[in-house]
Amino acid sequence: MNPLKLARQSPSPSPATEIHALRIPARLPAAATLAGVVAVVGCDGSGKTRLARDLASGLRQHRLAERRYMGLVSGETGDKIKRWPFIGPALERYLAAKVRRAQDMKKKLPGTFTAGVMYLFSLWRVLQLRRLKDRARSGVLMIAERYPQAEIPGFHYDGPGLSVDRGRNWVVRKLAAQEQKLYDRMAEQRPALVIRLVIDADTAHARKSDHPLAELRDKAQSLPRIKYNGARIVEIDATRPYEEVLATALRAIEKAVPAPSQP
């Protein structure tokens, strides 16, 4: 079925799927809205990858649109590294292991080298955001799967991976302070719309049984707290039938980022 037709024919969403008023935290970076960027965020198992792909596919029927993955080593970025000649597979395994170890925000960072690797990951994310902005400025509606934020630390939440409190030495603390500045600057570039898929941990675990339940519980509780620097946010119940989720998301995009009028 045509997803755009589905969006127009589907009944109005329940109150739980409407745009939520946001209370912006007291001290946030000055914001600049990226008019051509829509972010899709949510816990693992919420269906954000499928939704981002289907949104881009449906929107391309009447406007320029692309999906862009904004995560780090896991997911598509890891797959790209694996394809590098000779060193790709081994490098991906090494980097993924470092990220998993460092993502536990309750533990101290293992050392200066790992902190440096994590800082390079954050620089990579800055580059990815710059490319996203360039495409959006060229007139393409960008559907970003995941999006950087500066409110909650941890790569799990697309925030800074380092923290001054976790550093054992002055080098790590310096890197952490510099990384926070990177994320503060990225957070200034807020999307025109954030589509947040809300899901409970048990349902997410049923869909992603290879993910630890404790990790999913933490994400399910923490991600809804992120305000994305006061961006416009639509929350959608990801446990609803997928056709309803897709239709609600398409309606939200058409309202927040209407297609350019044809000459």
pTM above 0.85, yes or no: no
Look-up: residue for tokens 């939440």?
Answer: 157
Contact by Cβ (8 Å): 256, 37: no
User: Which DSSP string do the residues of 39-106 spell out, in sequence order?
Assistant: EEEE-TTS-HHHHHHHHHHHHTTTS-EEEEE---STTHHHHHHHTSTTTHHHHHHHHHHHHHHHH-TT
User: What CA–CA distance (Å, rounded) separates 170 from 176?
Assistant: 10
Between CA 247 and CA 224 the distance in angstroms is: 21
Low-confidence ranges of the chain (pLDDT < 70): 1-30, 73-82, 96-110, 164-168, 262-263
pLDDT digits (tens, 9 = 90+) for 66-108: 999 998 755 566 666 667 777 777 777 777 666 666 666 556 6
Quote the CA–CA distance of 189 and 33 in Å, as a whole number: 6
CATH fold for the domain made of 3-256: Rossmann fold (3.40.50)
Q: How far apart are CA 137 and CA 31, in angstroms?
A: 17
Phi then psi dihedrals of residue 163, to 5 deg: -150, 135
Give the pLDDT of residue 14: 42
Query: Which single residue is written with the structure tokens 């127009």?
Result: 8
Where exactly are the structural domains of the chain? 3-256
Q: Tokens 């080593």 — which residue?
A: 73
